[in-house]
Structure 1
Amino acid sequence: LELVAAVREEHPGIPVILMTAKGSEEIAAQALRQGAASYVPKLRMQDDLVPTLNQVYHTSALAHGQSRLMHYMTESSTSFVLRNDRMLIRACVRHLLNLLRCVPLGDETERLRVGIALHEALENAFLRGNLEIKPSEVTSEVPLNQLISERLQIESIALRRIHVHYHVSRSGAEFTIRDDGPGFDVASLWQDDSSGLHNHEGNRGLTLMKSVMDSVEFNDLGNEVRLTKMAVPAATA
Structure 2
Amino acid sequence: MGLRSDIYVIGQKKRMNTIVTICSDSIINQGIERVIQNEFPGDYNLHFTDNITEALDILNFELPELTILHLSDKNLDLTFLKEKIMEDSWLHSSGIIGVYDLGRHEEARLLDQFRSLNLLTLLDYSRIRTHFAKVLSIVYANRQLIYQNELADNVLGKFSGAFNISNADYPVVSVYTGLLSINMVRAGRVSDEERFKLQMALSELVLNGIEHGNCGISREDRDRHLESGGNLLELINERNQDKEIRKKRVLLEWILSEQESRFVIHDDGEGFDVSAYKASLQNVNSENLKGRGILLSRVVSDRILFNKTGNQVTLIMNHRHLHERLTPAGFSTEEMLIVKPGDIVVRAGDPSDSIFYISSGIYKVVNHGNIVGKISPEDVFLGEMAFLLNRDRSASVIAETKGKLIRIPRKSFIKVLKLYPQYGLFISRLLATRLKRTNDFIVTSLGEKEDDEAKDLTI
Length-normalised TM-score, structure 1: 0.65
Read off the aligned partner of 1:134 and give its amino acid letter: S
Q: Higher relative CO (CA 8 A, sep ≥ 6), structure 1 or 2?
A: 1
Q: Among residues 86, 108, 121, which one is paired with 2:170 in the alignment? A: 86
Q: Among residues 91, 97, 107, which one is paired with 2:181 in the alignment? A: 97
Calculate the aligned-residue CA RMSD, in Å. Answer: 3.3
Q: CA shift at 1:95, angstroms?
A: 2.1
Q: Which ranges of structure 2 fall in alignment gaps of 5 or more residues?
A: 1-85, 87-105, 122-144, 325-359, 361-459
Q: CA shift at 1:136, angstroms?
A: 2.5
Counterparts of 1:204 and 1:226 in 2: how far apart (Å)?
Answer: 15
Q: CA shift at 1:190, angstroms?
A: 1.1
Deviations 1:96-148 (A, max 9, x none): 1122121433x310121111111111111111111111222232313212211
Q: Aligned in 2, Cα 1:58/1:81: closer, same or farther, shift over 3 Å?
A: farther
Read off the aligned partner of 1:75 and give its amino acid letter: K
Q: Does 1:180 align with 2:268?
A: yes
Counterparts of 1:211 and 1:93 in 2: how far apart (Å)?
Answer: 16
Deviations 1:32-74 (A, max 9, x none): xxxxxxxxxxxxxxxxxx564466568754359985766x974
Question: What is the correspondence of 1:60-71 to structure 2 with a 5 Å cutoff?
Answer: 61-62=117-118, 67=146
Partner of 2:193: 109
Counterparts of 2:212 and 2:291 in 1: how far apart (Å)?
Answer: 11
Counterparts of 2:216 and 2:120 in 1: how far apart (Å)?
Answer: 33
In our comparison, the structure showing a higher alpha carbon Rg is 2
Provide the secondary structure at the position in 2 that maps to 1:178. strand
Partner of 1:230: 318
Q: CA shift at 1:189, angstroms?
A: 1.8
Q: CA shift at 1:226, angstroms?
A: 0.6
Deviations 1:172-209 (A, max 9, x none): 210111000110111112139xxx53448721222111
Provide the secondary structure at the position in 1 that maps to 2:206. helix
Counterparts of 1:93 and 1:166 in 2: how far apart (Å)?
Answer: 11
Does the 8 Å CA contact 1:62/1:94 hold for their aligned counterparts? yes
Length-normalised TM-score, structure 2: 0.36
Counterparts of 2:323 and 2:117 in 1: how far apart (Å)?
Answer: 28
Partner of 1:76: 159
Q: Does 1:135 align with 2:219?
A: yes
Does the 8 Å CA contact 1:82/1:88 hold for their aligned counterparts? no
Q: Which ranges of structure 1 fall in alignment gaps of 5 or more residues?
A: 1-12, 14-49
Counterparts of 1:123 and 1:56 in 2: how far apart (Å)?
Answer: 20
Deviations 1:146-175 (A, max 9, x none): 211111111111110111211112322101
Aligned length: 185
Counterparts of 1:156 and 1:235 in 2: how far apart (Å)?
Answer: 44
Does the 8 Å CA contact 2:262/2:315 hold for their aligned counterparts? yes
Worse-matched range after superposition: 173-182 or 204-213: 204-213
Partner of 1:25: none
Provide the secondary structure at the position in 2 that maps to 1:197. helix
Counterparts of 2:215 and 2:110 in 1: how far apart (Å)?
Answer: 22
Q: Aligned in 2, Cα 1:62/1:130: closer, same or farther, shift over 3 Å?
A: farther
Q: Does 1:210 align with 2:298?
A: yes
Counterparts of 2:184 and 2:316 in 1: how far apart (Å)?
Answer: 12
Does the 8 Å CA contact 1:184/1:221 hold for their aligned counterparts? yes
Q: CA shift at 1:228, angstroms?
A: 0.8
Q: Among residues 114, 125, 137, which one is paired with 2:209 in the alignment? A: 125
Q: Percent identity?
A: 24
Does the 8 Å CA contact 1:190/1:198 hold for their aligned counterparts? no
Q: Aligned in 2, Cα 1:67/1:177: closer, same or farther, shift over 3 Å?
A: closer
Read off the aligned partner of 1:220 and give its amino acid letter: K
Q: CA shift at 1:94, angstroms?
A: 2.1
Read off the aligned partner of 1:81 and give its amino acid letter: N
Partner of 1:197: 282
Q: Does 1:153 align with 2:241?
A: yes
Q: Which has the higher strand share?
A: 2
Q: Which has the higher helix share?
A: 1
